[in-house]
Amino acid sequence: MPDLRFTEHALSDWMRSGGDHSEIVVSSRVRIARNIQHQPFPLIASAEQAESVREILTPVLGGTPSDYGVFQALRLDELEDLDKRVLVEKHLISPNLAKESRGGAVLINEDESVSIMINEEDHLRIQCLFPGFQVRDAWKRATAIDDLFEASVDYAFDDRRGFLTSCPTNVGTGLRASVMMHLPALVMTQQINRILLAVNQVGLTVRGIYGEGSESVGNLFQISNQITLGQSEEEIIDNLHEVALQIIEHERNARQRLIQDSSSALRITDRIMRSFGILSYAAVMDLKESSQRLSDVRLGVDLGILKSPSIAVLNELNVKTQPGFLQKTFGDEMHPTELDMYRAKLLRETLGTTH
């Protein structure tokens, strides 16, 4: 039986601390893609070949103590679909790995700050998550874990192109670094499109909370590099770091403008209070509305308009209100109306006791 403790709680231990600029930057993530030399890439590998890769990579960290804790190995073919969905909602695996689990596995450490996907789009995807704005620290940890694997296997590498990957957009460094940012003031002041256009012009891209192909919800935007070839890892990290600092400054200025004018401040306060009240007493709540109203409450806490709930509680609710986690908590096979009812119930029980 697989160890399912990772799907039984919503708040990963790494999310409990704030990190730098945590009022705007929710988290920092670094992901490294690697493949084993002379092994077919997962997209074309047979079941036997994928199994062989899993057997090669899992023992490197699985079940043995390391500087980053003990890693638990989970085979995707041993997990129920609902447990896979919860792991996606917690950002411990990708939607692609959850769907294509031939030879798939994930290694997760105790505080869930590191998850290592095996046989996703590439043989190996090392992901490190830090709270707040700590993208450089996430990079240091990811590259240290990368060194552990490189000491055990030979990577697919070309002297001219760098590390070889299934998708050409990852060739080179194989590095994707990102920051998850909460930007409600830039959205409210209608500056967000201009900011995001500028981001695209400096080699970065904007995705939703679950990466490529997902949409932004709750005013959360994932800013990441889109260039992996022709730049060093350090240049990629430095570029993201500097651009993110500029976005942080723009968001702070927009928040100040919202509360400096008395009439604007009153409207923002009213919006925040209404969202808190609706979350605390609604009988039905769909995911889109829940995400938006939780965004309003988070802004209220950051601005000092609300003294509670804590940011940790809001981070937890962002996971607990997702469809997979709701079904894990209250029962399988819910239709949409049931999901909306139980989401509202969870929000009432959590927020109705904080005031």
Does residue 211 have a known ligand-binding role? Answer: yes
The residues pairing with 180 across neighbouring beta strands, listed in sequence order, are 27, 222
Sheet with 72-75, side-by-side order of all strands: 72-75, 105-108, 114-118, 124-131, 25-34, 175-182, 220-225, 204-207
Question: With 0-12 CB in 10 A as exposed, 13-18 as middle and 19+ as buried, what is 235?
Answer: middle
Give 70's DSSP letter: P
Does residue 38 have a known ligand-binding role? Answer: no
Does residue 209 have a known ligand-binding role? Answer: yes
Does residue 203 have a known ligand-binding role? Answer: no
Q: What is the dihedral angle through the alpha carbons of 145, 151, 152, 157, rounded to the nearest 10 degrees?
A: 90
- How far is Cα 223 from Cα 209, in angstroms, rounded to an integer? 10
Looking at residue 326, its pLDDT comes to 93
Please identify which residue in the block is written with the tokens 């605390």: 280
Looking at residue 58, its pLDDT comes to 93
- How far is Cα 241 from Cα 254, in angstroms, rounded to an integer? 20
- How far is Cα 184 from Cα 284, in angstroms, rounded to an integer? 24
Does residue 22 have a known ligand-binding role? Answer: no
Looking at residue 215, its pLDDT comes to 60
- The residue extents of the domains of the chain are 5-253, 261-351
Does residue 115 have a known ligand-binding role? Answer: no
Looking at residue 355, its pLDDT comes to 46
| 3-state SS class at 314 | helix
Does residue 112 have a known ligand-binding role? Answer: no
Does residue 162 have a known ligand-binding role? Answer: no
CB 14 within 8 A of CB 129: yes
Is pTM beyond 0.85? Reply is yes
- How far is Cα 127 from Cα 118, in angstroms, rounded to an integer? 11
- How far is Cα 102 from Cα 47, in angstroms, rounded to an integer? 6
pLDDT in tens, 162-207: 999 999 889 999 999 999 999 999 999 999 999 988 998 888 998 7
Looking at residue 1, its pLDDT comes to 56
Does residue 18 have a known ligand-binding role? Answer: no
- How far is Cα 292 from Cα 280, in angstroms, rounded to an integer? 14
- How far is Cα 237 from Cα 239, in angstroms, rounded to an integer? 6
Which residues, at least 6 apart from 277, have a Cβ–Cβ distance to it below 8 Å?
none
Q: Where are the alpha helices (DSSP H) in 34-94?
A: 47-61, 81-89
What superfamily in CATH does domain 5-253 come from? Glutamine synthetase/guanido kinase, catalytic domain (3.30.590.10)
Does residue 343 have a known ligand-binding role? Answer: no
- How far is Cα 327 from Cα 153, in angstroms, rounded to an integer? 40
Does residue 104 have a known ligand-binding role? Answer: no
- How far is Cα 314 from Cα 294, in angstroms, rounded to an integer? 7
Please identify which residue in the block is written with the tokens 């869930």: 112
Does residue 91 have a known ligand-binding role? Answer: yes
Q: What is the dihedral angle through the alpha carbons of 39, 69, 24, 323, rounded to the nearest 10 degrees?
A: 70
Q: What is the dihedral angle through the alpha carbons of 61, 178, 12, 319, rounded to the nearest 10 degrees?
A: -130
Which segments in the chain show pLDDT lower than 50? 213-214, 354-355
